[in-house]
């Protein structure tokens, strides 16, 4: 009898990493953060990606809850969500992330929640915390192909307009209004706003804090720069950029080290790869060496300059994000100091946790958000008997949509056979094609696709916050 009691006392349970509809029912209060009333009755769930982990000591799995009038409430446990769904007192409104909507009136009692945003050029970290727990966290990967897509669109338009015999002149489309931003930069700003609005639709956020920074690119290149040196610059006293580069390289080819002949100016990082016309990205080479280098007849390694593209973009967008959100802001050095005091590693998720005034709350498994294009302007190829053309028809199913077929769930990868079949993947077996008539839509992929990060940040294990078996 004593051995059985000892085994029961040492029994270890875990909370599911991904929340779907298959969770065990437990009756407990709804709009309170401490909703885990009966902790010993947790069962596993069937998740889409097939990755199941056993976690203890701080991992939180939450189901987001909306009121009957679509206002966000405090999240509940998977057990409580299953209990509400079985009693038909709630309905599923989203699968990624899993969200339910109540069908009855309730007291809309909420708690103060702070949302921290670690803004960035490629990744955006976010974390929402209360006094005791972290409710949601993760990172959003921003698109880096917007500039290339705009160039392709301009190419299509130029080719189409060149075939027109006459086009009425337009003179009112070259003016830039106040606050104009380049399309690629504007897309990053709008994505920050869209992310905050998405989280506000899931949780009753009371305060938003964004980390901003202002970088001095000239100071990053020359630590000793000061005063008048900011206005004079490197090219003071030279007629143009070419004269400065030739003088800097002492009129010597940087490939063959010869001083006679006709010189060209070579971009170390080519313009098509995002290279700029800054002096440190230009070198002097012979015209013959330049041609041979681009044709691959000779090889040479140039020292690539440090790029400040990210710092310039962050300088431009930081004020727009804060002004459009009308939120509080903090600075990077404050975040760094607090992160060192807490003893956690550098990451976008950890920075966002610190920005939201996190100081030891129970952490949750982070999410990875990926932006998904909903409109594809690519050319339709391999069309027998027809010339290539831009696809104009929009199919019902798009990539990253979740569908069901034969009592199984799949993720859509694309549509083929002129829209009659859909290509799906269940992340376990190989991709397969299913007839469109046998498919039923479960959830749209939409623009922001939520996925659970399978690996735990090393700082969590280091501090004993999570134990993975």
Higher pLDDT, 223 or 469: 223
Residues 25 and 44 in one domain: yes
Tens digit of each residue's pLDDT (9 = 90 or more) over 136-182: 999 999 988 888 888 888 887 888 777 777 767 666 666 777 778 88
Strands 328-331 and 207-212, sheet pairing = parallel
Cβ 338 vs Cβ 351: under 8 Å:
no
Q: Which domain holds residue 396?
A: 376-445
Instruction: State the DSSP string of 203-243.
Output: S---EEEEEE----HHHHH-TT--TTHHHH-TTTT-SSHHH
Task: Flag whether 160 is in a domain.
Answer: no
Enumerate the β-bridge partners of residue 211.
Answer: 118, 330
Residue 394 to residue 419: CA distance in whole angstroms: 9
Q: Are residues 105 and 138 in the same domain?
A: no
Q: Do 275 and 419 belong to one domain?
A: no
Same domain for 135 and 102: no
Tell me the HSE value of 334 on the side-chain side, using a 13 A CA sphere.
Answer: 15
- Please tell me the number of Cα atoms within 13 Å of 210 on its side-chain side: 23
Buried/exposed code over 186-199 (b: 16+ C-beta within 10 A; e: otherwise): bbbbebbeebbebb
58 and 90 inside one domain: yes
Report the CATH number at residue 430.
2.30.30.140
**CA dist., res. 377 & res. 358, Å (int):** 43
301 in a structural domain: no
| Stretch 292-301: mean pLDDT | 88
Q: Is the pLDDT of residue 460 over 70?
A: no
Task: Kindly state whether residue 154 falls inside one of the protein's structural domains.
Answer: no
Q: Identify which of 372, 366, 369, 371 has the alpha carbon closest to the alpha carbon of residue 353.
A: 366
Contact, 198 vs 191, CB < 8 A? no
Does residue 196 register a pLDDT over 50?
yes
Please report whether residue 463 resides in a domain. no
Q: CB–CB of 449/96 below 8 Å?
A: yes
- The position carrying tokens 């966000």 is 72
Sequence-distant (6+) residues with CB within 8 A of 130 are: 33, 111, 112, 113, 114, 361
Q: Say yes or no: 11 and 84 in one domain.
A: yes
Residues composing the chain: 469
Specify whether 12 is located in the same domain as 129: no
* Position 18 in a domain: yes
Decide if 273 is inside a domain: yes
The predicted structure's pLDDT at residue 39: 32
Q: Where do the DSSP E strands lie in 171-327? A: 207-212, 263-267, 282-286
Domains of the chain: total: 4
Q: 97 preceded by cis ω (within 30°)?
A: yes
Answer yes or no: do 388 and 321 share one domain. no
211 and 237 inside one domain:
no
Task: Find out whether 197 and 205 touch, Cβ atoms under 8 Å.
Answer: no
Q: Pick the range with the lowest mean pLDDT from 41-55, 284-298, 387-401, 434-448.
A: 41-55
Whichever domain contains 320, its CATH number is 3.30.420.10
- pLDDT tens digits, residue range 378-389? 656 656 666 666
In a domain, 394, yes or no: yes
Specify if 346 maps to a domain: yes
Per residue in 337-369, pLDDT tens? 999 999 999 999 999 999 999 988 888 889 988
Q: Are 329 and 211 a contacting pair, CB within 8 Å?
A: yes
> Cα separation of 445 and 400, whole Å?
5
Whether pLDDT at 72 is above 60: yes
- C-alpha span between 284 and 290 (Å, rounded): 9
Helix, strand counts (H, E) of the chain? 12, 21
Classify 313 as helix, strand or coil: helix
Residues 329 and 195 in one domain: yes
Q: According to the model, what pLDDT value does residue 99 have?
A: 92
pLDDT band at 102 (very low <50, low <70, confident <90, very high): very high
* Tens digits of residue pLDDT in 8-18: 333 333 333 33
Which of 44, 23, 94 shows the shortest CA–CA distance to 65?
94
**What pLDDT sits at residue 181?**
84
pLDDT for 47 equals: 32
Domain match, 25 and 37 both: yes
Percent over 90 (pLDDT), the chain: 24
pLDDT in tens, 17-64: 334 333 333 333 344 433 333 333 333 333 333 332 333 334 556 899
317 and 420 together in one domain: no
């Amino acid at each position: 009898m004593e051995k059985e009691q000892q085994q029961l006392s040492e029994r270890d349970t875990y909370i599911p990493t991904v929340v779907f509809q298959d969770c065990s029912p437990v009756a407990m209060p709804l709009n309170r953060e401490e909703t885990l009333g009966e902790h010993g009755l947790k069962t596993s769930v069937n998740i889409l990606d097939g990755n199941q982990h056993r976690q203890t000591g701080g991992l939180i799995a939450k189901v987001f809850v909306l009121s009957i009038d679509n206002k966000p409430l405090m999240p509940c446990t998977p057990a409580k969500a299953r209990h509400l769904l079985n009693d038909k007192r709630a309905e599923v409104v989203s699968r990624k992330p899993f969200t339910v909507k109540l069908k009855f009136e309730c007291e809309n009692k909420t708690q103060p929640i702070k949302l921290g945003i670690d803004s960035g050029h490629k990744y955006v970290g976010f974390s929402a915390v209360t006094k005791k727990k972290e409710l949601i966290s993760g990172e959003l990967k921003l698109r880096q192909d917007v500039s290339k897509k705009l160039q392709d669109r301009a190419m299509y338009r130029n080719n189409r307009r060149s075939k027109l015999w006459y086009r009425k002149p337009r003179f009112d489309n070259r003016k830039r209004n106040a606050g104009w931003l380049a399309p690629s930069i504007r897309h990053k700003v709008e994505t920050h706003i869209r992310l905050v609005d998405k989280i506000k639709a899931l949780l009753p956020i009371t305060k938003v804090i964004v980390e901003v920074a202002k970088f001095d690119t000239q100071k990053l290149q020359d630590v000793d720069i000061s005063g008048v040196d900011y206005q004079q610059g490197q090219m003071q006293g030279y007629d143009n950029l070419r004269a400065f580069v030739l003088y800097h390289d002492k009129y010597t080819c940087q490939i063959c080290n010869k001083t006679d002949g006709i010189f060209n100016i070579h971009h170390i990082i080519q313009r098509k790869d995002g290279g700029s016309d800054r002096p440190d990205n230009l070198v002097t080479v012979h015209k013959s060496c330049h041609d041979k280098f681009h044709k691959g007849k000779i090889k040479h390694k140039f020292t690539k300059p440090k790029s400040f593209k990210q710092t310039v973009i962050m300088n431009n967008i930081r004020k727009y994000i804060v002004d459009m959100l009308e939120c509080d802001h903090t600075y990077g050095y404050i975040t760094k100091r607090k992160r060192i005091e807490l003893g956690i590693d550098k990451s976008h998720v950890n920075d966002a946790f610190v920005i939201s005034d996190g100081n030891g709350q129970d952490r949750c498994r982070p999410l990875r958000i990926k932006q998904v294009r909903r409109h594809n302007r690519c050319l339709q190829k391999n069309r027998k008997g027809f010339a290539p053309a831009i696809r104009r028809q929009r199919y019902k199913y798009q990539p990253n949509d979740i569908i069901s077929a034969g009592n199984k769930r799949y993720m859509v990868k694309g549509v083929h056979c002129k829209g009659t079949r859909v290509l799906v993947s269940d992340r376990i077996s190989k991709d397969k094609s299913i007839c469109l008539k046998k498919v039923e839509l479960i959830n749209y992929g939409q623009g922001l696709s939520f996925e659970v990060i399978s690996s735990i940040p090393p700082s969590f294990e280091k501090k004993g916050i999570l134990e993975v078996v």
